[in-house]
Structure 1
């Protein structure tokens, strides 16, 4: 029987996903580079394991024997997506991951024609990055078809995993991104700031290079897109000061040192995840000033990732597409999908208001 393989299964989020899949009666293959950690997890969950690195394309392809779908949970994905995606295209294996990295979305999108020829789904970003925001974007577009600008924002509680922290270090060196006139453009860190209301209280936020700068454009075609993260004013001021250090942050030894420090911090434990959640805001505006808005609440981002990654992987396995290619979460699962995820609630219903 064709199987689902989780690569990076021994990482913080990979473990959560493996546990969730097991609870739902799935039996994924667990894989990664760290033999001791992967095999220990396999023994604990009673699941088969495969150990391989990513420096030998032939070894990767051999490890895909009997595999129908790969879920890549090994970040930073700037290092792991390309070799795994190439192997998936060669072996006709569906490729999914939990990235939030803009350049990885672009890499996967460029493989669209090859994925169609191979008859496989290429669907990056099946976790908190970017399922809820992508679905919110698609819902807003459906309500306001002639929208010309889109703002997406989120506030996440609970802290970051080691992999997310390492990816954030890379993001500091890369600077900010936005979508302007349909084009991806570089912008300074904390390029813009504004506030969003949470339970009637303002939350300060700054622009960040969130994956929806890429994916929401694919999902909606809206040409101007900004993505924000709610942060305290002090943190926003610190991010703006980091602009001066950006050239230093590109220095490879400094990057490695910062990643090592970031990766040493544990992710949120079970209690922390259970006690914290996220908010997502969306606004779409038409040229005449009409505004569509929506606000939702979700579980902790890592808990949501375990749920949505499992959902989407199971759906792709159960219902292989008539035609392969690159998909965003809302394209594959539907704009309403996020509203069906356990623990997600509508806070401010979708509404469209006239200008003024």
Structure 2
């Protein structure tokens, strides 16, 4: 295998023919030359890959075109050859429990770093246990959940913890951290497909109910706020209604794993909720999802998005997200900070940007990363370096004096 410094490529976008994969390719095409990134797109359908290149070539903002790598997920030799040529593979091909594992194995064998946009926490747990030691032994970073699931939560919490320590000193005891999400955007067909696949597998579904599936359980056992939030109520902090957040069962597990790796401390606890515009909306958001069979029927009837589908450019341009996070001193709740993470269309445009910047971060900034090997979270693998990249790319991380100090209009 080639040494990292001698690789022909910096980044391969795997699964580039899907909707979000095409957005990732479009994003890299506009930044790769300036960033000094040598890149390629990969997948099994050569015709679709070539069309992406042709579309990029016709784009007015394109500054760099990718190489095309044709390979299927069951072509072990081809996957290893691809991984041996590049420093990083950024994967968007899911459901990951069905299609993701061979890429991980190739990356470990060929000492190629990896990031993805999965939200399949049970798959992350299984592969972390199975492949994490080998990744660590080979000096490979495997970093999952590098899209809207779970970068705003994971890096936002790291940012809040950092601000709390800056304000009250490095020895402050990190206590409750609460994230409040509000957004306007479309449900991702890929996320929907992954959720259906997990629910249809009894073992994965059972695993997904564990708030500490990836670690971070307190020594004294779970606390009331550690449970997944399923209620709805008027929140005294914001003065608005809150309800369960659909991505919380993904994000909370990732953040708790980061809390252990980055030593947030024994008092750290994390919860996230959705901000609702009214009591009626909050009550509706608190209702359980329809069973997987019904959701699948709705997909087939065109009432929910299919995997690979996505909203129009015009609709994405109107979409946005905002995450306001409060981090408290465990010994004195009157000592706290508020931070905010915000950006554009969360499920598609910003997810493509987040994954692309994570891949560039792994390819170019390894020497400043907090960890250099293992199956890691975004915060524990890339940390502040990735926050700074995302800020430069237009995703805002900022301290705010109070949750009322920012507008809920498009950000």
User: Which category describes the TM-score, using the shorter chain as reference length?
Assistant: 0.7 to 0.9
Q: 1:293 to 1:319 in 2, by over 3 A?
A: closer
Q: 1:86 to 1:105 in 2, by over 3 A?
A: same
Instruction: Quote the residue 2:177 is aligned against.
Output: 150
Structure 1 CA distance, aligned partners of 2:184 and 2:41?
28
Matched, 1:275 2:322: no
Task: Judge conservation of contact 1:273–1:300 (CA < 8 Å) in 2.
Answer: yes
Quote how far apart the aligned CAs of 1:241 are: 4.7
Superposed CA offset, 1:195-227 (max 9, x none)? 5699x7725321444433222122223553323
Q: 1:259 to 1:34 in 2, by over 3 A?
A: farther
Quote how far apart the aligned CAs of 1:77 are: 2.3
Quote how far apart the aligned CAs of 1:316 are: 1.5
Instruction: Quote the residue 2:244 is aligned against.
Output: 206
Task: Judge conservation of contact 1:106–1:214 (CA < 8 Å) in 2.
Answer: no
Structure 2 CA distance, aligned partners of 1:284 and 1:178?
20
Structure 1 CA distance, aligned partners of 2:179 and 2:195?
19
- After the TM superposition, which residues 1-356 of structure 1 pair with which residues of structure 2 at under 5 Å, given as runs? 1-3=7-9, 4-24=11-31, 25=33, 26-45=37-56, 46-107=65-126, 109-110=128-129, 111-142=131-162, 143=164, 145-170=172-197, 174=205, 178-179=211-212, 181-182=217-218, 191-195=230-234, 202-208=240-246, 209-221=248-260, 223-231=268-276, 237=283, 241-242=287-288, 246=291, 249=292, 257=297, 260=300, 261=302, 262-264=304-306, 266-290=309-333, 291-301=336-346, 302-321=348-367, 323-331=372-380, 332-334=382-384, 336-337=387-388, 339-344=391-396, 346=398, 348-349=400-401
Task: Judge conservation of contact 1:61–1:87 (CA < 8 Å) in 2.
Answer: yes
Superposed CA offset, 1:122-173 (max 9, x none)? 1112222222221221123331642243322322322123213323434666
Runs (5+) with no aligned partner, structure 2 = 1-6, 57-64, 166-171, 404-411
3-state SS of the aligned residue for 2:244?
strand
Quote how far apart the aligned CAs of 1:87 are: 1.4
Structure 1 CA distance, aligned partners of 2:126 and 2:249?
16
Q: 1:237 to 1:228 in 2, by over 3 A?
A: same
What's the TM-score once normalised by structure 1's chain length? 0.80
Structure 1 CA distance, aligned partners of 2:93 and 2:281?
28
Structure 2 CA distance, aligned partners of 1:105 and 1:317?
22
Q: 1:242 to 1:152 in 2, by over 3 A?
A: same
Q: Give the number of equivalent residue pairs.
A: 343
Instruction: Quote the residue 2:168 is aligned against.
Output: none
Structure 2 CA distance, aligned partners of 1:30 and 1:113?
29
What's the TM-score once normalised by structure 2's chain length? 0.71
Q: 1:343 to 1:71 in 2, by over 3 A?
A: closer
Question: What is the aligned-residue RMSD (CA, Å)?
Answer: 3.5
3-state SS of the aligned residue for 2:80?
helix
**Which has the larger strand fraction?**
1
Task: Judge conservation of contact 2:339–2:397 (CA < 8 Å) in 1.
Answer: no
Task: Judge conservation of contact 1:32–1:51 (CA < 8 Å) in 2.
Answer: yes
Q: 1:345 to 1:89 in 2, by over 3 A?
A: closer
Structure 2 CA distance, aligned partners of 1:149 and 1:79?
36
Q: 1:30 to 1:234 in 2, by over 3 A?
A: farther
